[in-house]
Amino acid sequence: MDPAQHATPTDWPAYVEDFRRAGHAAVEWIADYLAETRRFRVLPAVTPGELQDALPKSAPDAGEPFDRIMEDFDRVIMRGVTHWNHPAFFAYFACTGSTPAIVAEMLAAALNTNGLHWLTSPAVAELEQVALGWLRQWMGVPEGWTGVIYDTASTTSMHAIVCAREFTAPEVHAEGGGRNLVLYTSEQSHSSIEKGAIAVGIGQNNVRKVPVDAEFRMRPDALAALIERDLSAGLRPCGIVATIGTTSTTSVDPVSAIAAIAERHNLWLHVDAAYAGAAAILPECRHHFAGLERAHSFVVNAHKWLLTPIDLSAFYTRRPDVMRRAFSLVPEYLRPQQDPRAHNLMDYGIPLGHRFRALKLWFVMRYFGRHRIQQVLRDHIAWAQRLASLIDSHPDFERAAPAPFSVVNFRFRGTDEQNRAILEAVNSSGKTFISSTVLHQRFVLHVAIGNLGTTWADVEQAWELVKKAAAEI
């Protein structure tokens, strides 16, 4: 018998000891990785299908030892990894998988506890309230807002759209249909809003993409006009989704003016602050969030700019009663617990199972504390502003949008083709990863700063690579 073919320990103590050894080795591996992330190409140099071809076509019949699995992890899997945790990762949006959260994820997996309702894991139910309450305070959001953790902002916003429907068209809950409902969001909002409307049955054609102003912010006058037009056509406006920090440009919709319109028509107002919500922790950024307290719900992703690894999306609402109406299928008299303090997470969304995500947020908030997190956010914003001014003073480049947070959009003063070639050259260097977007029908380069390990030198290097690529085309 080949011992390697029968590596899985069959008695419990040996199984646990096997973990102890592999677990220590994995922590060593992680520490080495974090110490030397810069050694890796940010973008891997692989072709589609390469990884699938390098792995066996079917799973093993007999268990294999950790060492063999780790070997393939290093040799095959790592080759196909895009290093989002790399300090020179500047694509899409900010993110960091920080060490306290890595530890917490390991502990949560070990406990494997599932917070369906309070009794199935009081720690999951209560720590989620505590961590989200702390975060609410940091962001300056008043008391009375309840939080729930989901996986991603896309899921969160879909839940908000269900709440909007429950709020304005409660009969749809039982009867289905929901014909003629209309949802409003800006033409710069994230695609998840449209997807949510599709999933909820509002339908893609009933999502109005409200035009934006020169700085990519939703135009309240255009919103009001669209609502009036729909009302006179016999349609039923049901909700508005504003964005604080849009995906392309991080523009900020005028939430106060939008809230006034929502109030006039009694519509649910959801605010998507998936990326920029973290900036509310900085008093000097609070003005971007004016009017947020008049919304009915908002989302902020801890897995973006809050040092928490994917996934953790925080949903807040000041109308938990509407949420419960939408998602609670258990009659009140059959409550698993009668105690009003027993929070049942299954009443606040589609999933029944509820992962212990709160643990990593709680670890992150305690480990770093508010001051350190504020310092990190301030550095990122300052470096983005510094990059913006370098771009502004360079004759061959121009900025494509204002930069209120830590994202800079800019372009080489040339053709789209030339800008595409610059992007390609910069990213194929492996030294950094920047992304692109399209603004006013033009191809634009997008640099998002937000990793804990990033220094100004990383940003400067990306800028140097861009200039070098531009000089070579």
Ligand X SMILES: *Cc1c(COP(=O)(O)O)cnc(C)c1O
Residue placing its CB nearer to ligand X in the complex, 243 or 419: 243
User: Can you tell me which of 120, 154, 168, 188 binds ligand X, judged by CB under 6 A?
Assistant: 154
Say whether residue 274 binds ligand X (CB under 6 A).
Answer: yes
148/10 Cα distance (integer angstroms):
40
One character per residue 220-249, x = contact with ligand X (rule: CB under 6 A): -----------------------x-xxx--
CA nearest neighbour of 379 among 450, 281, 316, 330:
450
In this structure, which amino acid lies at residue 394? Answer: H
Residue placing its CB nearer to ligand X in the complex, 149 or 153: 153
Pair 434, 427: CB distance under 8 Å: yes
Say whether residue 275 binds ligand X (CB under 6 A).
Answer: yes
Here the tokens at position 439 are: 């603004």
Convert 421-454 to b/e letters by CB count within 10 Å (16 or more is b). Answer: bbbebbbebebbbbbbbebeeebbbbbbbbbbeb
Q: Where are the alpha helices (DSSP H) in 79-171?
A: 99-111, 122-138, 153-168
Residues with Cβ within 8 Å of residue 73, at least 6 apart in sequence: none
Say whether residue 297 binds ligand X (CB under 6 A).
Answer: no
Residue placing its CB nearer to ligand X in the complex, 166 or 272: 272
Residue placing its CB nearer to ligand X in the complex, 169 or 274: 274
Question: Which residues in 128-147 contact ligand X (CB under 6 A)?
Answer: none
What's the closest the beta carbon of residue 177 comes to ligand X, in angstroms? 27
Pair 360, 101: CB distance under 8 Å: yes
User: Can you tell me which of 90, 93, 184, 327 binds ligand X, judged by CB under 6 A?
Assistant: 93
What's the closest the beta carbon of residue 395 comes to ligand X, in angstroms? 32
DSSP string, 22-36: HHHHHHHHHHHHHHT
90/256 Cα distance (integer angstroms):
31
User: Can you tell me which of 272, 285, 317, 349 binds ligand X, judged by CB under 6 A?
Assistant: 272
Choices 118-126, 152-160, 221-229, 373-381 (CB under 6 A): range interacting with ligand X: 152-160
User: Can you tell me which of 124, 125, 153, 197 binds ligand X, judged by CB under 6 A?
Assistant: 153
Question: Which residues in 307-366 contact ligand X (CB under 6 A)?
Answer: 313
The number of residues making up the chain comes to 473
Say whether residue 443 binds ligand X (CB under 6 A).
Answer: no
Instruction: Return the SS3 of 444.
Output: strand
Determine the angle formed by the axes of helices 358-392 and 456-472, rounding to 10 degrees: 50
One character per residue 165-204, x = contact with ligand X (rule: CB under 6 A): -------------------------x-x------------
What's the closest the beta carbon of residue 243 comes to ligand X, in angstroms? 5
Question: Which residues in 103-122 contact ligand X (CB under 6 A)?
Answer: none
341/423 Cα distance (integer angstroms):
53
What's the closest the beta carbon of residue 277 comes to ligand X, in angstroms? 9
Pair 207, 278: CB distance under 8 Å: no
Pair 185, 193: CB distance under 8 Å: yes
What's the closest the beta carbon of residue 158 comes to ligand X, in angstroms? 10
The position carrying tokens 């009663």 is: 321
Say whether residue 432 binds ligand X (CB under 6 A).
Answer: no
Say whether residue 217 binds ligand X (CB under 6 A).
Answer: no
Determine the angle formed by the axes of helices 12-35 and 99-111, rounding to 10 degrees: 160
Where on the chain is the footprint of ligand X (CB under 6 A)? 93, 152-154, 190, 192, 243, 245-247, 272, 274-275, 301, 313
